[in-house]
Structure 1
Amino acid sequence: MIKILSSQQIREVENMANEGGITFLRLMENAGSACAKVIRNKFDDTGLRRVLIVCGKGKNGGDGYVIARKLSENGYKVTVLLTMGEPVADTAREMLERIKNSGVQIENYCDNDEKYDLLIQDSDIIVDCVFGTGFSGVPDERLQRLFKKMSESNGYVVSIDLPSGMCADSSELLAPCVKADMTISVIALKYSLVYYPSAEFAGEIQVASIGIPEDILRSFSGGYTLNINDIKSKMPKRSELSNKGDFGKALIIAGSYEMPGAALLSSQSASECGAGIVKLAFPDKAYPVMMNTCPEKVLIPLPSNKFGRISALCEARIKSELKNCSAVLIGCGLGNDYDTKQVVTSVLENSEVPIVLDADGINSMCESIDIIKNAKAKVIITPHPGEAARLLGCTVKEVQADRIGACRDLVELTGATVVLKGSRTVISSNGEDFYINTTGNSGLATAGSGDVLAGIIVSLICQKINPDLSAVMGTFIHGYAGDIATEKYSKMGMTAQKIITELPKTLSAFEKG
């Protein structure tokens, strides 16, 4: 699990470390040394030795001077290029003094001198240390031209902390920034390295630890990304003495005459992801479709209204089924009318087991949000940006402009755990800590993909995984299956059914021996 911090939080972390006895100069030395180590690990065995370190006048440039010294001491031919003259920060000035007599060549960049164009083109490795987390706004045109030359060079571009020209807290790019092959993020990840479109410019990402005490880092709420080992460590081991009852009963209330596929996909993914028994409740007008395509499911046909959707007349039957399940998923493909709202309300008011509320389950509650907030059981909502905008009474553009903020607002509004779907899905249960999913790709932007995700989440809950954790794990697994499917079928050729097809292979990567 890797922490994500804002630029303000990074400053506070450094201040706390300094107050605790780790001086700013020591932090800079540690940062430069850690970054140099990453660079050496990648290039020591390659024979590439010509390094150009492009420095600004702030602390990021100071990190660059330390990197220059460390690489020079280990046999690299290093040139430092000062883009804005000598540094203004005391710590950076000290680090520059330390390399002046060390064999490192120091040059002052001139925009119109072909000498520097050749220097950029002839370098094997270009280390970008112009701007770091303190940057905001737009670089001047001179620097924009320099960033373009660096990005288009033949050298391998390593950005320190952030590609220069990128703001730490926003995915929006106000002007051209450096396009890195690798970014070494100091202390923690930054939000712009995770979110698109800015993340496209970061390349491979590594996080460099610089000796900040863990208790300081733990004192900050913020974002997290997970990796396969994090998920694997949470996956329960299955006893060979188990029976289907040990893995729970999922009740899925989904589908309509118009959208039977949503019920099929959500129930199938729940089965493929390990739920012991999947009960599928659907409007009886969709029975011909269900009858021949759901051999593993317990089918519960319910009365339909005139639109082919579940009728409110089924409330008594649903209340009965709620007493005999481990978790319930409601909403996929239900349609949105009076009956839908009545059925969803009944589930929220009567269920004593966790509820996953998806799609039309969410839409039906947009004007009755207190029903979600006052639900008897734990609720997980899985809105896409459009559904989130309807709940919040804002535009999709506003949701996408601040996905963390939108997720926080949804948690506060509904009291539910929120899975805000989209590129880099955001999950939060408390509005303070956010898990940002890094699996998945644009191939998942296909009809039915969200139904598959909802089925995975309810399946994990049935297997006695904490509901909040199930939301995080389910999102990761869904994206991972999408990544495997993309390798096999391509992004353009992706369908929701193909995601399900790859679930068994995906789960094998997470199962404990």
Structure 2
Amino acid sequence: MFIVTAKEMYDIDHYTMQTIGYGNLLMENAGRAVAEKITKIISKEEPISVFVGTGHNGGDGYVVARTLWNIGYDIEVIQVGENEKLKPEVRFHKQLFINCRGTVHVAVDDETLQHVFTNKKVVIDALIGIGLTENIREPIATAISLINKEAEMIVSVDIPSGLPSDEGNLSSIAIQAHHTITIGAPKMSMFIPSTEDFYGNWDVVSIGHSPFVFEKYTNRIMITKELFQQTMPRRKKSAHKGDHGRGLIIGGCDNMPGALAMAVKAALKTGRD
């Protein structure tokens, strides 16, 4: 499984949409794939509030909302930001949701947010995606604070809003998600101590990217248990440790022997002498 930076993910998306020719299908695929995962986490008995921003993450949120609404979920959308700021693709998917008789509340300031934010126990966060480059502005900051304070279940789309997607510390405020459904590939901040806890339990959904496109833009991969096991050679039942070579581990010092001890134990557990 590949791990990507924000720039790498943008390049992968752009190549998939423009060169391969997916166009706007990628956003539709993303929202539908996320919605399918959400059905495994949240039941139809739970009313859901989908908080969307004006960028592409908000577009994913509108597709999620429409997909869940059309299969019988109790859905409302709270759009945080003016209609004039909507990206064209987001505007398109918002209209589709409205055409399906979905409900959208538009909150452009703190007062409106406080008014609409009542009894929002289950929240899908699609406010800000991987494009964050500065501190969170209002009214997004207020929305994040209210969600963190009031919601009992938060599912973030792609990345918890407010987190950097790459290396780096949290600069202001971010969603503390219970679940995150990330799109395409894990982001680097999933593995950084200062940010990984914000993701909660996370999963990855495939939305149509071809493997060679990931290979074109990144060589960073996550070593899973299955991938590690594939690298281990098969051994005959009659084999002993002397049949498979010897290893030499050099390192450590008198007052910091931990890393050396762990390396030796790992070697022993894999049958190395």
- TM-score greater than 0.5 by the shorter chain: yes
Structure 1 counterpart of 2:80, one-letter code: T
Structure 1 counterpart of 2:116, one-letter code: Y
TM-aligned CA distance change 1:453 to 1:24, over 3 Å: farther
Match of 1:368 in 2: none
Match of 1:61 in 2: 58
Task: Note if 1:232 corresponds to 2:229.
Answer: yes
1:461 Cα offset (Å): 8.6
**How far apart in 1 are the matches of 2:211 and 2:130?**
21
Give CA deviations for 1:182-212 in whole Å, capped at 9, x if unaligned.
1111111111122121111111111111101
Give CA deviations for 1:371-416 in whole Å, capped at 9, x if unaligned.
xxxxxxxxxxxxxxxxxxxxxxxxxxxxxxxxxxxxxxxxxxxxxx
**How far apart in 1 are the matches of 2:96 and 2:151?**
30
Give CA deviations for 1:82-105 in whole Å, capped at 9, x if unaligned.
101225311111111111121211
SS in structure 2 of the partner of residue 207 of structure 1: strand
Give CA deviations for 1:407-451 in whole Å, capped at 9, x if unaligned.
xxxxxxxxxxxxxxxxxxxxxxxxxxxxxxxxxxxxxxxx64312
**How far apart in 2 are the matches of 1:194 and 1:462?**
29
Match of 1:98 in 2: 96
| Uncovered stretches (5+) of structure 1, i.e. residues with no partner | 249-325, 336-446, 465-513
1:31 Cα offset (Å): 0.6
Structure 2 counterpart of 1:450, one-letter code: A
| TM-score (structure 1 length as normaliser) | 0.50
1:322-341 correspondence to structure 2 within 5 Å: 326-333=246-253
User: Are the aligned partners of 2:49 and 2:120 in contact in 1 as well (CA < 8 Å)?
Assistant: no
Match of 2:72 in 1: 75
SS in structure 1 of the partner of residue 96 of structure 2: helix
**How far apart in 1 are the matches of 2:6 and 2:216?**
16
1:273-312 correspondence to structure 2 within 5 Å: none
What's the C-alpha RMSD, in Å, of the aligned pairs?
2.2
| Uncovered stretches (5+) of structure 2, i.e. residues with no partner | none
| Aligned residue among 214, 218, 243 for 1:217 | 214
SS in structure 1 of the partner of residue 248 of structure 2: strand
Match of 1:37 in 2: 36
1:165 Cα offset (Å): 0.9
**How far apart in 2 are the matches of 1:165 and 1:333?**
41
User: Are the aligned partners of 2:182 and 2:204 in contact in 1 as well (CA < 8 Å)?
Assistant: yes
1:170 Cα offset (Å): 2.6
Give CA deviations for 1:40-92 in whole Å, capped at 9, x if unaligned.
1222xx44431111111111100011001100011111111110122531111
**How far apart in 1 are the matches of 2:210 and 2:94?**
27
1:122 Cα offset (Å): 3.3
Work out the percentage of aligned pairs sharing the same amino acid: 23
Match of 2:258 in 1: 449
**How far apart in 2 are the matches of 1:460 and 1:19?**
48
TM-aligned CA distance change 1:47 to 1:80, over 3 Å: closer
Structure 2 counterpart of 1:145, one-letter code: T
TM-aligned CA distance change 1:103 to 1:135, over 3 Å: same
**How far apart in 2 are the matches of 1:227 and 1:244?**
25
**How far apart in 2 are the matches of 1:215 and 1:54?**
34
Structure 2 counterpart of 1:68, one-letter code: A
Of structures 1 and 2, the larger Rg is shown by: 1
Structure 1 counterpart of 2:61, one-letter code: G
Match of 1:4 in 2: 3
1:134 Cα offset (Å): 1.2
**How far apart in 2 are the matches of 1:47 and 1:74?**
9
